[in-house]
Amino acid sequence: MNLIPLFIALPLGAAFLLPILRYRNFDKQKTGQANPAVILGKWSKRTPDIVANLINLTLLVLSLMVINRGMLVYKMGGWEPFKGIPIGIYLVLDGLSVLMLLIINSIGFLAALYSVNYMEKYTDKTRYYTLFLLLIAGMNGVVLSGDMFNLFVFLEVAAIASYALVAFGTEAEELEAAFKYQVMGTVASGFILLGIALLYSFSGTLNMADIARIINQQGIQGTVLFVGALFIMGFGLKAAIMPFHAWLPDAHPSAPAPVSAMLSGVLIKAIGVYALVRILFNVLGLGETKSILYILMVLGIISMVAGALLALGQRDFKRLLAYSSISQIGYIVFAFGLGTPLGFLGGLFHLLNHATFKSLLFLNSGAIVYATENRDLEKMGGLLERMPVTGTTATIASMSIAGVPPLSGFWSKLIIIMAAIQAEQFIFALIAVLISIITLAYYLKVQRLAFFGKLGQAWKKTKEVPGLMCASMIILSLLCLGLGILLLPGIKSMILDPAVEVLKNGAQYANLILGE
């Protein structure tokens, strides 16, 4: 049995199964007996936890199983190409998809594990897990899709689930943030759909490989550049690159902590950066167009600088993390904009590292909120004493994101800066180094205010968070410590090299899939 459709089918199926299972329980509350119309299974308070975590564990195992399988093309419903022209929907699994699947499903599993305790204080866990699984299904779909419109549909599935998750607490601030986020997100979707429509009118097909082949034959014309600009706007909004960032500092802190971890750690990369890079480099074949690359580099530098400077002044822990996300996304986009293999390696590796340490930091902030109901850094202090696990893991993550050797963040930033020097972008390389120092500064501030210093009077009785939350934080901090080993030659050729290879091949993507 082929594994690829399971990445999308499993979370979708579980997402729709959960409300059906709960319905039986609902009638029991109202009438005193279970609804006879629904025969599926017994319900307990833990059912949504167990189902969601099992599904996420399965997805993690599946994504570990597809490592190093080479390129797989899956034709949905068995529609074979007609005279060499693909007609059905394709799912494509290549090196880049495998890397993204690993990120999505590992962070997804750990966030779901964390939710078991954390989401107790919210009322409706079933709906939470339904939306969470839809988010994962959407992102897996975006990463696997080999068809432009299919990509758009999955992108919208993930985006709508994330809008609803941001508004999940239904407090005034959360609703405001969700509205802002959704308006921006819908405008972005409008631009993306317009781009897809123009691309369809240009090439007469929606299959990514087929589009790439037609653009290869006809050369890059004005339409393609215009579509590229539309996609930079649309996916840039989804990825919160600087001029399009305004929604992120509101939306990400407002969500519940595991969702913030998913949004900041994974979502902006899967439906923003990944989709942008895949379409620009593989489909539109703009990997060697200087103007587009330069735009990416400049946007990356701007978000790097502005995100870091804005993060310096924040007092709210989660808001600071959100601004830091903008800054780190800047590093990633800048690295892709260099357009060299070393730049791709640095960008992809930083993408992976940022997913681990930023989701860990958001989980840490969630642990502090869980224990103290407080997000203001100025009011914290000395929490390391009362919450040793949270404090230690947060220190590891902060050092890693600031680029202290030998933690994972150091290696990826080093590669990005080396790539910038190799591409003779000396000023940009210098800026990247400086911003790395500023990053260290604001994370030191977090450490000093939150975890070190004198223990505040209010927190004398604070307890460490429950075991499952600790477990997922510890696993993530171990990843932060150890991900540097991905650069060792044997392991590098399994995960990172195939992903870099995909981007390096650029428009050759078409020939690999259509098999010419």
Partner 1 sequence: MKGMTLIVKTIARLISGLIFLYGIYIVLHGHLTPGGGFAGGIIIAGAFVLLILSEGSKKASSEIKKQRASVGESSGIFIFWLLAMLGLFTGSLFFLNLLPKGKAYHLFSAGIIPLCNIGIGLEVGAALFAIFITLAVLKTGEKK
Partner 2 sequence: MIYYLLSMLLFLIGLYGVLVKRNLIKIIIGLVLMEYATFLFLALVGYKKGGTAPIITKGFEKAVFVDPLPQALVLTAIVIGLATTALLVSIAVRIYQRYGTFDIREIRRLKG
- Mark the segment that binds partner 2 (CB under 8 A) among 29-37, 146-154, 426-434, 439-447: 146-154
Q: What is d(CA 514, CA 90) in angstroms, rounded to the nearest whole number?
A: 11
Q: What is d(CA 232, CA 272) in angstroms, rounded to the nearest whole number?
A: 9
Q: What is d(CA 387, CA 401) in angstroms, rounded to the nearest whole number?
A: 21
219 binds partner 1 (CB under 8 A): no
Count of beta carbons in the 10 Å neighbourhood of residue 6: 15
Whether omega for the bond prior to residue 406 falls within 30 degrees of 0, making it cis, is yes
Q: Which residues contact 171 (CB under 8 A, 6 or more apart)?
A: none
Q: Which of 32, 77, 222, 515 binds partner 1 (CB under 8 A)?
A: 77
Nearer to partner 2, 230 or 429 (CB): 230
94 binds partner 2 (CB under 8 A): no
Least distance in angstroms from the C-beta of 186 to partner 2: 5
- Mark the segment that binds partner 2 (CB under 8 A) among 67-75, 181-189, 340-348, 380-388: 181-189
Partner interacting with residue 66 (select from partner 2, partner 1, none; CB below 5-8 Å by kind)? none
Partner interacting with residue 38 (select from partner 2, partner 1, none; CB below 5-8 Å by kind)? partner 1
Q: Which of 30, 45, 83, 463 binds partner 1 (CB under 8 A)?
A: 30
5 binds partner 1 (CB under 8 A): yes
Least distance in angstroms from the C-beta of 60 to partner 1: 20
Q: Which residues contact 105 (CB under 8 A, 6 or more apart)?
A: 7, 56, 59, 60, 62, 63, 136, 140
Question: Which residue type is seen at 511?
Answer: N
Nearer to partner 1, 1 or 427 (CB): 1
Partner interacting with residue 421 (select from partner 2, partner 1, none; CB below 5-8 Å by kind)? none
The mark string for 32-71 relative to partner 1 (x by CB under 8 A, - otherwise) is: ------x---------------------------------
81 binds partner 1 (CB under 8 A): no
Least distance in angstroms from the C-beta of 20 to partner 1: 5
Q: Which of 2, 29, 31, 201 binds partner 2 (CB under 8 A)?
A: 201
Nearer to partner 1, 38 or 246 (CB): 38
249 binds partner 2 (CB under 8 A): yes
259 binds partner 2 (CB under 8 A): no
Q: What is d(CA 140, CA 151) in angstroms, rounded to the nearest whole number?
A: 10
Q: What is the size of the binding site for partner 2 (CB under 8 A)?
A: 38
Q: What is d(CA 277, CA 262) in angstroms, rounded to the nearest whole number?
A: 20
Nearer to partner 1, 24 or 213 (CB): 24
Q: Which of 47, 182, 353, 364 binds partner 2 (CB under 8 A)?
A: 182
DSSP assignments along 342-390, one per residue: HHHHHHHHHHHHHHHHHHHHHHHHHHHHHHHS--BGGG---HHHH-HHH
Count of beta carbons in the 10 Å neighbourhood of residue 514: 18
Q: What is d(CA 301, CA 281) in angstroms, rounded to the nearest whole number?
A: 20
Q: How far lies 419's CA from each of 102, 340, 357, 425, 497, in Å?
A: 25, 7, 22, 9, 16
Q: What is d(CA 479, CA 214) in angstroms, rounded to the nearest whole number?
A: 42
334 exposure class (CB count in 10 Å sphere: 0-12, 13-18, 19+):
buried
376 binds partner 2 (CB under 8 A): no
Q: What does the angle CA 96 – CA 84 – CA 194 come to, to the nearest 5 degrees?
A: 60
- Mark the segment that binds partner 2 (CB under 8 A) among 98-106, 194-202, 222-230, 274-282: 194-202
Q: Which of 269, 319, 358, 413 binds partner 2 (CB under 8 A)?
A: 319
Q: Which of 36, 78, 219, 489 binds partner 1 (CB under 8 A)?
A: 78
Least distance in angstroms from the C-beta of 369 to partner 2: 17
By C-alpha distance, which of 356, 341, 228 is closest to 295? 228
513 binds partner 2 (CB under 8 A): no
- Mark the segment that binds partner 2 (CB under 8 A) among 6-14, 249-257, 392-400, 460-468: 249-257
Partner interacting with residue 23 (select from partner 2, partner 1, none; CB below 5-8 Å by kind)? partner 1
For the packed helices 388-402 and 467-482, what is the interaxial angle rounded to 10 degrees? 30
Task: Tell me the three state secondary structure of residue 44.
Answer: coil
Q: How far lies 46's CA from each of 34, 35, 56, 116, in Å?
A: 17, 19, 16, 9
Interface residue list for partner 1 (CB under 8 A): 1-2, 5-6, 9, 12-13, 16-20, 23, 26, 30, 38, 74-78
Interacting residue ranges for partner 2, rule: CB under 8 A: 149, 152-153, 156, 160, 163-164, 167, 170-173, 175-180, 182-183, 186-187, 189-190, 193-194, 197, 200-201, 206, 249-250, 254, 310, 313-314, 316, 319
